[in-house]
Amino acid sequence: MIKHWPTMLLGIIVAAIFLIAVFSFQVKETESAVVTTFGKPEEASYGPGLHFRWPYPIQEIFRFDHRFRCFSGTTASQGAETLTKDSKNVFVSVFMNYRIGDAKKFYEQLVTVENGEEQLNDWMRGYTLETLGKYNFDQLINTNPKKMRLVQIQQDILKKLQERAKPYGIEVSRVGIDALNIPESISKKVFERMNQERKVVAANYLAEGKKKAEEIKIETDSEKRIALAKADAEAKQIRALGDAEAAKYYSVFKKSPELAAFLRKLDSLRKILKSKTTLILDTDSAPFDILKLNADKLNSNVGPQK
């Protein structure tokens, strides 16, 4: 008996593991689980952890990932063509971010994720076409961002999807337009219109620039005139002060007119003969007459040689 004890212990452990596997189930942190008893779901879903269960077919476990997922719709619904309010054709592709918030409601209404996404695809397509039909073409495609309403369109679709999906245990957090195209038949006209709008905007900018340049020029000319007038006034003031100072010295010359005339002539000679210069001039003309006067005085002082 003692010899078989290890074998018995191993059998007990294996049996315990088997019973735990049969009568329990584990739910991950990223999951929610719905337990059905003879096909009828229990009152509440199960969160993460280890839970007790009856083996199949009494009870069955349905697990749902409750993380947010990005859903762009089925291949057939991507790039759907629709009409705007002003009867212009556009191709639009929309995506959404959603999660299974209430696993029990989701299972009761849709059972599987495939069924849920098929239903979401129909809702998303329908609400997209309905919403775009309330807006004009230039509110979807425009060179002026202020006229575009893409954000408002996305919010409108999101609100409708949230209200529709909530009874199914689905939470929709975001709706976005990932592609917006136009048929080739009207694309040329659209580009021509956009080009004309750009030309109008460019012309407005040029006109505004010329206006600003003219204003700057007028302002600069005005400042220039003010600065010149101010400089002229200061120059006149300085000239007046100089004349007043010069008048003091002129009053001294009045006492000796001959000295004043002599000094003026010397000053004129100094300006004329700044460098080596050879001049043939009449010494009877001012200011060169002082040379003749000085020579005559020199000869008179020396006198005749004996």
Pairing of strands 69-71, 89-100: antiparallel
Joined together, the tokens standing for residue 85 give 């309010």
pLDDT tops 80 at residue 65: yes
| Distance from chain centroid for Cα 33 | 46
Tell me: the pLDDT tens digits for 111-120? Answer: 999 999 999 9
3-state class of 9 per DSSP?
helix
Tell me: the pLDDT tens digits for 212-247? Answer: 888 888 888 888 888 888 888 888 888 878 767 766
Q: What are phi and psi of 305, to 5 degrees?
A: -85, 135
CATH fold of 69-182:
Tetrahydropterin Synthase; Chain A (3.30.479)
Instruction: Report the mean per-residue pLDDT for the chain.
Output: 80
- Give the number of other Cβ atoms within 10 Å of residue 25's Cβ: 18
| Distance from chain centroid for Cα 82 | 32
